[in-house]
Amino acid sequence: MYTLYSRPGSGGFAVEAAFRLAGQPFTLVNVPKQAPGDDFLAISPLGQVPVLTLPCGRSITESGAMVTLVAERFPEAELAPQPQSPGRAEFLRWMFFMSSALYPALLRYFYAQRYTSDPGAAETVQNAALAESDRCFAVIENALSGRQWLVDDRFSLADVYLLMLAHWHPVGDRPREEWTNIVRHCSALKRQPVLADLNETHRLW
Ligand SMILES: N[C@@H](CCC(=O)N[C@@H](CS)C(=O)NCC(=O)O)C(=O)O
């Protein structure tokens, strides 16, 4: 059995969505934000969610890795282009772009005080983080021009990951209105029954 350590509104949204869209059972453990205990720090050294414990007993951090793993382990659900398929490179590109460029830019906004030793500089860090996350979103907005999904003109978990990040945008908790392609992309996904149901807990939109 898989065990997902998560918290409503966190990156656990995409991983929970992956399991539910794959129709696979998993145990969900809610980790309160304040003061993670030693047991949790043993599997998440930075004290962050999500964490996924695999049936073999190993635990991994990194939401992008978890989403990719679920798609790979349950290929019949067709949640991502499979290894060796033509769209795989593009899927990996977007997963890494979102998890290594965009997600950290958003973290710099929300945890600005971690990124400066000057107590008066948090606002400057936030301004720069907002500009950087907008620069990343603009890349995705451009890529979605004339297409419905990020990869291969078919739905994948990269789309779910984008839906989550777009609703973490610090201005209004939703994608900027001028990103019409991202707004259109998210609107379609928000109607998907599994994602709509998941949002009852996560309250991303
Ligand atoms: N690189 C990690 C980032 C995880 C992360 O930053 N999680 C946030 C919630 S979305 C968290 O636990 N923040 C609490 C903290 O950093 O203290 C991932 O992609 O899973």
107-153 pLDDT, tens digit each: 999 999 999 999 999 999 999 999 999 999 999 999 999 999 999 98
In Å, what is the CA distance from 33 to each residue of 25, 99, 104, 129, 190? 25, 21, 18, 22, 26
Mean pLDDT of 29-33: 94
Give residue-wise pLDDT tens across range 40-75: 999 999 999 999 999 999 999 999 999 999 999 999
Global pTM reads 0.98
- The better pLDDT of the pair 36, 195 is held by 195
Pick among 3.30.43.10, 3.40.50.300, 3.40.30.10, 3.40.50.970: CATH of 2-77: 3.40.30.10
- In this model, does residue 34 exceed pLDDT 90? no
Residue type, 6: S
- C-beta 106 within 6 A of ligand 1: no
Determine the Cα–Cα distance for residues 35 and 198; give it in Å rounded to an integer.
26
Task: Report pLDDT for 35.
Answer: 82
- C-beta 10 within 6 A of ligand 1: yes
Residue nearest to atom 1 of ligand 1 (CA): 62
* Pair of tokens at residue 178: 């001028």
- Where do you find CATH 3.40.30.10 in the chain? 2-77
Collapsing DSSP states into helix, strand and coil, what is residue 28? strand
| 146 CA to centre of ligand 1 in angstroms | 32
- C-beta 40 within 6 A of ligand 1: no
Element (H, E) at 60: strand 59-61
The two most distant CA atoms of the chain are separated, in Å, by 52
- Do residues 32 and 9 lie in contact, with contact meaning Cβ atoms separated by under 8 Å? no
- Where do you find CATH 1.20.1050.10 in the chain? 88-192
CB proximity list for 71: less than 8 A, separation 6 or greater: 18, 22, 77, 79, 80, 156, 157
Give residue-wise pLDDT tens across range 81-107: 999 999 999 999 999 999 999 999 999
Q: Looking at the domain that runs over 88-192, which CATH code has it been given?
A: 1.20.1050.10
- C-beta 47 within 6 A of ligand 1: yes
Mean pLDDT of 158-184: 97
| CB-count exposure of residue 195 (10 Å: 0-12, 13-18, 19+) | buried
Task: Report pLDDT for 86.
Answer: 93
